[in-house]
Structure formats: C-alpha cells, structure tokens
Amino acid sequence: MKRRQTLAAGVGLAAMGLGLGWGLWRLPAQAPSPDAVARPVDIWGLSFETPGGGKVALADLRGRPLVLNFWATWCPPCVEELPLLDRFQREHRGEGWQVLGLAVDGATPVREFLAMRPVAFQTGLAGMDGVTLSRTLGNSSGALPFSAVFDSSGTRVEARLGALTWEHLSAWSSRIR
C-alpha cells in the first residue's frame, strides 16, 4: 500500500512540475514592466557552484559585457533558447561578450541535461535562490526564462522576460560594450 501511495505522490509532483512549466511557457515573452525596477546588485560579488563541482565567480567575468540567463531543464522555452545563447557565445566571444547560464534547478538534472546537450558558455547552479536574484534584476514575476544584460562596468542595461531571439542578442551586442 505504501508503494502505491509513494508512486501516486511522485506522479502528482511530476504533473505539478509539468503544469508549472507549461504555464510559464505559455506566458507571453515581454520586457519587464516599467514598475519592475531592478535594485542595484553587486553582481561581481556573486559565485555559484557548477554542475561539475567547481565554482564560477562573477568577479572573473568583470570588465566584459555579460548576458546572465536564468533557465531550468523543465522549462521548454529555456531549453529552446540554449542553442541560440550557445551560438551567441561562440560568435561574439572575440568581441568580449560572455554568457552565463544560471540554472534554477538541481545539480543532477542540470548535469544530466548538459551531458546530452552541452553548451559553450558557463553554467552555475542558482537553485531557487536564482528566482530571488532574477527578481532583484527586474523579473517581477519570477518566471523563466529571464535574461539580464550587463555592460562591461557591471551596470544592468537590458532585461527580458521570455525566450530570446537572435534579433535581441544582435541589438544588444551592437549597442553595449
């Protein structure tokens, strides 16, 4: 009897996760609302564990423009935009651009996901603290995917809730240094 209850609870949690992911995916892509003002954050003081067990310190990324992308393995639009961010990192690395993906997820799912779909940019494990951080950067709803763009001085100059397009990334790379 306990096995059946455990199985039912697991199926229920999985359904809830899928429902949440589907609901977030259905949200229209948009820029943060004007009243979702980002609070100043010293991003250079942040560091995150990596899926491989190391650490990524944002201080090491100082002095170059940065796309900070919040994503999760269970988020369909997040997964869809990862190849685009990977391409952007590869094509604009020579101009100083860098991408850091912050996974709002656990280490095991991220590690397994990246083993199947590797990316050229670094990934940090933000967990649910990533939602809080994204809110301080202007993501009032806490939904995913969310990207914040910083110029080389560390000032947040752009933010976008929803999946990115190549046009967004190209516009940012031509304007921001």
In CATH, the architecture of 43-175 is 3-Layer(aba) Sandwich (3.40)
pLDDT value for 14: 44
Domain ranges of the chain: 43-175
pLDDT value for 3: 63
pLDDT value for 115: 96
User: Rounded CA gap, 125 and 49, in Å?
Assistant: 5
Full-model pTM: 0.78
- Torsion, Cα 116 17 124 91, to 10 degrees, reads 60
User: Rounded CA gap, 152 and 29, in Å?
Assistant: 26
Rg value, the chain, Cα: 17
Q: Which of 57, 82, 97 is nearest to 145 (CA)?
A: 82
Please, is 154 exposed, middle or buried when counting C-beta atoms within 10 Å of its C-beta (0-12, 13-18, 19+)? Answer: middle
pLDDT value for 177: 82
β-strand 98-103 against 47-49: which pairing, if any? unpaired
pLDDT value for 41: 72
pLDDT value for 40: 60
User: Rounded CA gap, 155 and 148, in Å?
Assistant: 10
Q: Are 173 and 165 in contact (CB under 8 A)?
A: no
3-state secondary structure (DSSP) of residue 2: helix
β-strand 47-49 against 55-57: which pairing, if any? antiparallel
Starting at the edge strand found earlier in the chain, the sheet holding 47-49 runs 55-57, 47-49, 122-125, 98-103, 66-71, 146-150, 156-161
What is the chain's pLDDT, residue by residue, as a tens digit (177 residues)?
Answer: 566 655 444 444 344 444 444 444 444 444 444 334 455 678 889 999 999 999 999 999 999 999 999 999 999 999 999 999 999 999 999 999 999 999 999 999 999 999 999 999 999 999 999 999 999 999 999 999 999 999 998 899 999 999 999 999 999 999 988
pLDDT value for 86: 97
Query: Phi, psi (5° rounding) for residue 106?
Result: -90, 160
